Chain A
Amino acid sequence: AQSVTQPDIHITVSEGASLELRCNYSYGATPYLFWYVQSPGQGLQLLLKYFSGDTLVQGIKGFEAEFKRSQSSFNLRKPSVHWSDAAEYFCAVSGYSTLTFGKGTMLLVSP
């Protein structure tokens, strides 16, 4: 069965600092991987996705993620965080017509 682990429940980053959110997945075949963001009281918005090819993928809002098969990881990065990035971030793996999500990482941005 597929699974996703996001080891950090909360992360606090200063505005302007860089960000890396960790994601590890377990899936028996080539994974399709996603990062979503959820603001309070809202649905999920797709930030970026990895299907195949270049292991560094670019997304919206200045985010990028790197797929590392050897480490079963798909970490999300942003070089400079803005206060509006404060939200909850979910990593997900796709398989057999379902999406399996991690528990999420809550990002807090300090001034």
Chain B
Amino acid sequence: KAGVTQTPRYLIKTRGQQVTLSCSPISGHRSVSWYQQTPGQGLQFLFEYFSETQRNKGNFPGRFSGRQFSNSRSEMNVSTLELGDSALYLCASSPRDSITNEQFFGPGTRLTVL
């Protein structure tokens, strides 16, 4: 089985722009979660989607949004970019509605905001 894929791998944007990141989960996985990783804050949970519905949301401003499509692929969008949004954004997928929440991570998208 192919792993979790994320596109693009690297992105450079300027302040005020918006950006869309894409994640394709492992085949058969219906849950997709997004995390932001920075040196200062570590790994922080953004949101989780299951069957096209946002099931959980972390403590991030409304500029961060996401969605999930019927094929389980997910996108996250950040509007009005700020310098502090520079981070590695990780996507993870889980099989179905796994209570054990074992997650499989993609390689991440490195976002740099100038």
> Could you say which interface size class chain B belongs to?
20 to 34
Query: Contact string, A81-111, partner B, CB cutoff 8 A, digits 1/0?
Result: 0000000001000111111111110000000
Q: Which residues of B contact A97 (CB under 8 A)?
A: 31, 48, 50, 55-56, 101
B45, A99: Cβ atoms closer than 8 Å? yes
Minimum CB–CB distance from A91 to chain B (whole Å) comes to 11
Question: Are B101 and A98 in contact, CB atoms less than 8 angstroms apart?
Answer: yes
Which DSSP category, helix, strand, loop or mixed, fits chain B's interface? strand
CB–CB B42/A101 < 8 A: yes
From the candidates A43, A51, A103, name the one contacting B107 in the complex (CB within 8 A). Answer: A43
In the complex, which residues 17-64 of chain B have their Cβ closer than 8 Å to any Cβ of chain A?
31, 33, 42-43, 45, 48, 50, 55-56, 58
Contacts of A36 in B (CB 8 A): 105
Residue positions of B touching A, CB distance < 8 A: 4, 31, 33, 42-43, 45, 48, 50, 55-56, 58, 90, 92, 99-108, 110
Q: A49-B100, A99-B33 are in contact. List 16 more A-B contacts (CB 8 A).
A: A32-B99, A32-B100, A32-B101, A34-B102, A43-B4, A43-B90, A44-B92, A46-B102, A90-B43, A94-B101, A97-B31, A97-B48, A100-B45, A101-B43, A103-B42, A104-B42
